Amino acid sequence: MADKLRLAVFLSGGGSNLQSIIDKCAEDYIPAKVALVVSSTRKAFGLTRAKKAGIEGVVYRRKKFPDGKTADTWLVNLLDDHKIDFIALAGYLKMLPPPVVKAFKGRIYNIHPALLPKFGGKGMYGLKVHRAVIEARESESGVTIHKADEIYDHGEIVAQEKVPVFPEDTPEELAARVLKVEHSLYPKVLKTVSERLLKEMEK
């Protein structure tokens, strides 16, 4: 039996969630290893974090491929070559291709910096989310972790944690409060997921 699962993390930005996952894997809190980081842009600082941790980082830009089918196949093969067991989206701003969603059905997780189903959907990421929450005069926001499917910020919610929103909050202040919770909640969920997947593989 495998004692550690192989996780691929997809991102587009700073990668602070990636870092919390790498750290919690290194501590053996999550029985998994980040075996691959896929970024939608070469500019993502998350790639630097991956390199520093000795993890292979790959830039995946669909436009670079002659057609969508070739792009899909390339990504499915990449995940296959790295023997990936499950996927964590951590600030990934693109849609996963349907063949990847199909191949990893029920084994793709996403983190969103608000209480879904509110403040989600295409274009709702980063500070835009927090700005919308403040403009709607919400008294609370939070973190949602859900299974990912072919629709943005959709899929079964597996965990949520609330944070207060104060009237004088700037989007940056709210983002920082939410991000702090992200860094503890995502590893917690990935730990539970890994333990369940390992048990299922034992059967």
Residues 33-62 that bind ligand GAR (CB under 6 A): 46
Residue 198 CB, shortest distance to ligand GAR, in Å, is: 25
Residues 110-139 that bind ligand GAR (CB under 6 A): 111-113, 124-126, 129
Identify which of 121, 169, 99 has the alpha carbon closest to the alpha carbon of residue 141.
169
Residue 18 CB, shortest distance to ligand GAR, in Å, is: 6
Residue at token pair 């998994």? 32
| Torsion of Cα atoms, 98 then 100 then 104 then 106, to 10° | -30
Which of 8, 11, 88, 174 touches ligand GAR by CB under 6 A?
11
Residues 6+ away with beta carbon under 8 Å from 187 = 20, 21, 24, 29, 30
Evaluate whether 133 touches 141 at the Cβ level (below 8 Å): yes
Q: Respond yes or no on whether the N-terminal peptide bond of residue 187 is cis (omega within 30° of 0).
A: no
Nearest residue (beta carbon) to ligand GAR:
91
Please name every residue paired with 163 in a beta bridge, in sequence order, or none if there are none: 141
Verify binding: residue 90, ligand GAR, rule CB under 6 A: yes
Verify binding: residue 190, ligand GAR, rule CB under 6 A: no
Give the nearer residue to ligand GAR in terms of CB position, either 161 or 198.
161
Which of 7, 15, 119, 133 touches ligand GAR by CB under 6 A?
15
Verify binding: residue 141, ligand GAR, rule CB under 6 A: no
Q: Tell me the window of 21-29, 61-69, 77-85, 107-115 that interacts with ligand GAR (CB under 6 A).
A: 107-115
Active-site position among 112, 130, 146, 154: 112
Verify binding: residue 182, ligand GAR, rule CB under 6 A: yes
Active site (annotated) includes residue 112:
yes
Please name every residue paired with 186 in a beta bridge, in sequence order, or none if there are none: none
Catalytic residues: 112
Residues that bind ligand GAR (CB under 6 A): 11, 13-17, 46, 90-91, 111-113, 124-126, 129, 153, 179, 182
